[in-house]
Amino acid sequence: MSQHTITINNRTIGAGAPCYLIAEVGTTCMGDIDKALRLIDAAKAAGIDAIKFQVIDPQQESDPAATYLVVHNGQEQRVNMKEMFQKLIFSEDQWAQIVDASRKAGLDFFATVDYLEGVEMLDRLGVDFHKIGAWDATYKQLIEKIGKSGKAMFADLGPTTESQANDIVSWYMSAGGTAVLFMHDFHTTDDTQMNMRAVQKLNEMFPWPSGFSSPAHDDDLDVAALALGAAYLEKRLILDRSDFAFHAHESLEPQELKAWVEKIKHVERALGGPVIVPSERDQAGSLKYYRSVCTLRDIQAGELFTAENLGAKRPGTGLPSSNLESIWGKPAKAFIAADTLLSNEDLA
């Protein structure tokens, strides 16, 4: 597993550091500045480290009739992709307001960006890092553009193959990049195709910590990712799941996100380190429930200790029972009553 860490905006991400928690609100803010600001407040209240938006250019879709599947209140329906993306656009002044509000809340701000000019705008806003979505894994020009910024880049995997992941790193680093932070990501409900151990693989393949972009409400996968070495987790946040928005059905409402953060931090504390060290309660319990060398019957002075008169009984406050065989054959210094825990002073 990779032992590398990176520091972004005074936060350390990687081995030994707390899991970096990201709230994804790029589509659930619905292009509404008021909702965006309220989502920032909700993310802060939940204990999140960073908030991620999406800087999208609807013109990147060449087919004006292209549609996207939206699940709203349990019902599936197709919506025009360009029209939906158009609703997610903010002006640069609004983006500046969002960035400022994020920083005042103590949250790192970044965005998935899908067009070259968007990278330039985000750099003007002073972002500390960038992100590409899963569907831009082969967009070399975008990856190189981000590489030239010299800033770290998060990257969703999704349809990305191992070979393509290596290409991303090559293009980005050749352009002047510093760190590619891959997020294991998938778009399937077939658990046999989720391959959560990809988190481990990414940590082995690259000198930067890996993470997981969490789908929907399956916290089991988040726990698995954490145990497999994910240094950061991304979870979708929405103010109200009844809102008509991309990914609404996959998103957590504010109180649910807060509960999720608490769960992740609980699991993280429980994972601890790669050591075999008993808890304080287990250490105390060992004094009660481990076995000690103990007489099985009355033993006379000078009598030799044997398997017939000396065995192992609780508690564990006497000589360890592992010493039994080394004591057999030695004489008792004085009379010892039955059910007495032996001490060194009892040996002649």
CB 20 within 8 A of CB 209: no
Element (H, E) at 75: strand 75-80
Q: What is the DSSP letter of 241?
A: T
Averaged pLDDT for residues 82-108: 94
Give me the DSSP letters along 207-249.
Answer: SS--EEE--TT-HHHHHHHHHTT-SEEEEEB-S-TTS--TTGG
Closest listed residue to residue 20, CA positions, set 44, 40, 42, 49: 49
Match 């750099």 to its residue by tokens.
123
CB-side neighbour CA atoms (13 Å) of 61: 17
Confidence band of 1 (pLDDT split at 50, 70, 90): very low
CB 130 within 8 A of CB 151: yes
Averaged pLDDT for residues 19-40: 96
CA 27 from centroid of its chain's CA atoms: 22
pLDDT at 307 over 70: yes
What pLDDT digit, counting tens, does each position of 108-152 carry?
Answer: 999 999 999 999 999 999 999 999 999 999 999 999 999 999 999
pLDDT at 3 over 70: no
The reported pLDDT for the residue numbered 2 is 42
CB 40 within 8 A of CB 105: yes
Tell me the CATH number for domain 11-271: 3.20.20.70
Three-state DSSP state, 319: coil
Joined together, the tokens standing for residue 235 give: 């979870």
The reported pLDDT for the residue numbered 281 is 96
The reported pLDDT for the residue numbered 248 is 85
CATH fold for domain 280-346: Type Iii Antifreeze Protein Isoform Hplc 12 (3.90.1210)
What pLDDT digit, counting tens, does each position of 231-279 carry?
Answer: 999 999 999 998 888 888 889 999 999 999 999 999 999 999 889 999 9
Cis peptide before 207 (omega within 30 of 0): no
Match 């608490």 to its residue by tokens.
262
Where exactly are the structural domains of the chain?
11-271, 280-346
